[in-house]
Amino acid sequence: MDKFVIKGGRRLTGEVTISGAKNAAVGILPAVILSDEPCIIENVPTISDVNICIRILREMGADITFLGNDTYRIDPTGIRSHCVPYETARKMRASYYFLGALLGKYKKARVSMPGGCPLGARPIDQHLKAFCSLGAKYTLSQGMIDLTADKLTGNQIFFDVVTVGATMNAMLAATKAEGLTIIENAAKEPHIVDLANFLNSMGANIMGAGTDVIKIRGVQKLHGTTYSVIPDQIEAGTFMAAVAATKGDVVIRNVIPKHLESITKKMEKIGVHIEQFDDSIHVWVDGPLVKANIKTAPHPGFPTDMQSQIATLLTLAEGTSIITENIWEQRFGYVDELRRMGADITVNGKIALIEGTGRLMGAPVKACDLRAGAALIIAGLAAAGITEIEDIFHIERGYDCMEGKLRALGADIEKVSIPDNKDSSKNSSDKAAV
Ligand code: EPZ
């Protein structure tokens, strides 16, 4: 097992380049299954969730070559299995995208139920509702979902809740279904638009991605393509919070400013200066940070995946801030760890009250999920003294070489190996990714 050791108190300065978006890549890689020819996927982040996707595709028979420079050549024509191995699938939250891709291509799929995770319940009823709307039947047994369909026919799908995963899965399954599918109450995140653009670059016919109504006309064949994954808006937002927490001055490259709008607006209210360019932003702080009220919401609202990071920043701001988590039942797991560092946070249901103390003290802490881990890094960078963060496998699921990027900005952060604790309850190979 590894841990991060951070000596806090150093300003972040210089330039950093953002990697490809995790939540786009974990949808696009399974989507290659739908193609009848090899595809080249660029700007793929080097993170463990991607490594698991690549491993699953290889185990199913795809021929995959890493071409360097975050680029893969994937030939799906050798795939002979419609089953995603249980042990591999349960490690990754987003393995459910293999359901939609395999169903869409082979009209059958067998994938493990995605594991629960520290965010609370992660139901997939809306995914299954979408598949059944297209003509599929499913059974659940031994922790596995089996999907079959004699034929996939376009239909109207109305989601009871705005769901990123089910919206992407419905697009995957409907791409080759006969006729017109209309998805209503669709999620609008940038990674949904990215998946639709990828599928269309292979010859799919998807319109309206990024709005709440997506129309898909099924096609019979999908050709190969070369496609570049969009930059990760959450990695960019995480670095924005880290720069602000250290009162730094950094240019963040390879971003789409439009994707950062809700984050930028909140950061500016807190006292962070942000200058926008075509594909980069300049972030700096030269005065006090002030309180803010944050309510997470589906895109274009403030992203839940930035909630823990901005909460950490607000512990350093003057005044009392309020955070309302509207997406997940349990996304304040990081609060206990921040309290160990001197934060004054009170949680009541989906609301957290943050008394800005203006300072944090280094302490030994543990990451409980991907974004909680990112929040603890930000806290460690700003804290006085040494912070040691354990269970960093969570962080490495979604951040491409975080410590290297931070060191290049002047942070004092090292990754240190620690002997595996035999009775450790957190075995990285078993934790479900978020
Ligand atoms: C995706 O999760 C992201 N993960 C999450 O990012 C992100 O927090 C979430 O979208 C919201 O933006 C990936 O893309 C791999 P949802 P997903 O379906 O698709 C309920 C990170 O840190 N719901 O949009 O699982 C659900 O309980 C991770 O990168 C149902 O009720 O989220 C939740 O309350 C964490 N039934 C709400 O919808 C369903 O069938 C939104 O969930 C599906 C979801």
210-240 pLDDT, tens per residue? Answer: 999 999 999 999 999 999 999 999 999 999 9
Which atom of ligand 1 is closest in space to residue 304's alpha carbon? 8
Active site residue 401: no
CA distance 312 to 307: 9
Is 299 touching ligand 1 by the criterion CB < 6 Å? no
Is 47 touching ligand 1 by the criterion CB < 6 Å? no
Which atom of ligand 1 is closest in space to residue 305's alpha carbon? 22
CA distance 171 to 160: 16
- Catalytic, out of 39, 53, 117, 368: 117
Q: Residues near 402 by Cβ (< 8 Å), separated by ≥ 6?
A: 374, 377, 395, 396
Please tell me the pTM assigned to this model: 0.96
* Region of poorest pLDDT, from 13-22, 89-98, 133-142, 379-388: 89-98
Buried b (16+ CB within 10 A) or exposed e, 232-262: bbbbbbbbbbbbbbbbbbbbbebbbbebbeb
Domain 22-217 CATH class label? alpha beta
Burial of residue 388, with CB atoms counted within 10 A of its CB: 0-12 exposed, 13-18 middle, 19 or more buried: middle
Pairing of strands 280-284, 249-253: antiparallel
* Residue 426: per-residue pLDDT: 43
Name the CATH architecture for the domain at 2-19+231-432: Alpha-beta prism (3.65)
Is 368 touching ligand 1 by the criterion CB < 6 Å? no
Q: Would you say residue 409 has pLDDT above 80?
A: yes
Is 237 touching ligand 1 by the criterion CB < 6 Å? no
Is 371 touching ligand 1 by the criterion CB < 6 Å? yes
Q: Whose CA is nearest to atom 22 of ligand 1?
A: 305
* Residue 425: per-residue pLDDT: 44
Residue pLDDT, tens place only, 343-367: 999 999 999 999 998 899 999 999 9
CA distance 379 to 311: 10
> CATH 3.65.10.10 in the chain, residues?
2-19+231-432, 22-217
Nearest to 132 by CA among 93, 87, 181: 181
Report CA(165)–ligand 1 centroid distance (Å). 6
Q: Residues near 116 by Cβ (< 8 Å), separated by ≥ 6?
A: 122, 432
